[in-house]
Amino acid sequence: MIHYKTDEQLRLIRKAGRIVAACHKEIAARIKPGVSTLEINRFADAYMRRYGARPAQIGYKGYPYATCASVCDAVCHGFPTAVPLKEGQIVTIDMVAELDGWMADSAWTYAVGRVSPEIQKLMKLTKQALYRGIAQAVDGKRLGDIGFAVQQIADREGYSVVEEFIGHGIGRRMHEDPQVLHRGKPGTGKWLRKGMVITIEPIFVMGGPHVNIGSDGWTVRTVDGSWGAQFEHTVAVMDGEPIILTR
């Protein structure tokens, strides 16, 4: 069942989203060689709590951390660790803040020091695909329009889309209807209507699309070891231009 949010509920989600966005800005300044993702996790946990929010990922289906921290070929749901990050790596930090009962979700891939031109391009085009998808999140469009906008960039550039992990509705619960796929056909899928709040969160990888889940039960890695990037915003569907609630 899709829950359509009122203007007041959108305001509350946006408040949570501002905490997530501000935390990501602080993390961007802290990602560097020698820093561990466990340190980043501790910072994000403390930051969200300092501003009155609850790190909503802690305890979700038993997940033990405030963030997911996925390095290089780990494309999502990675556990933060004490292993120092190295020059040239990339790391995706994903977090959900709950404030006054409402949630906002955003993931961002960061370069650790200087990365290769190929990785820079991967990050740039994955982010571009996110915003192309967001542009379709308006009343009267359909979910397939979002997926098609994303996949066009991947197909053109020779990247694979990790299809098992998708966007979703969000509000009082972390995962609500509808499911938001990052592949699709224009004019297909559920109608987008004003008041829907969804995440769009494409994962592009440089090799094949196949992934598996590690022994921790969470960390998702590419089967062929290729690196992946992910960018995610929480977005409100509107009559005209969509509103990014985690900008």
Name the residue with tokens 């062929």.
Answer: 224
Residue 94, marked binder: yes
Residues 6+ apart with CB under 8 A from 142: 186, 187, 188, 189, 190, 191, 192
Residue 175, marked binder: yes
Residue 233, marked binder: no
Q: How far apart are CA 83 and CA 87, in angstroms?
A: 13
CA atoms within 13 A on the CB side of 239: 1
Q: Is-contact 202 171, C-beta < 8 A?
A: no
Residue 3, marked binder: no
Q: Is-contact 220 246, C-beta < 8 A?
A: no
- Identify residue 40 by its one-letter amino acid code: I
Residue 177, marked binder: no
Name the residue with tokens 């405030």.
Answer: 66
Residues 6+ apart with CB under 8 A from 139: 192, 193, 194, 237, 238, 239
Name the residue with tokens 């990339």.
Answer: 90
Residue 105, marked binder: yes
Q: Is-contact 192 138, C-beta < 8 A?
A: yes
Phi (first) and psi of residue 62, to 5 degrees: 90, 5
List residues forming the annotated binding site: 77, 94, 105, 168, 175, 201, 232
Sequence ranges of the binding site for substrate: 77, 175
Q: Report the binding-site residues for a divalent metal cation.
A: 94, 105, 168, 201, 232
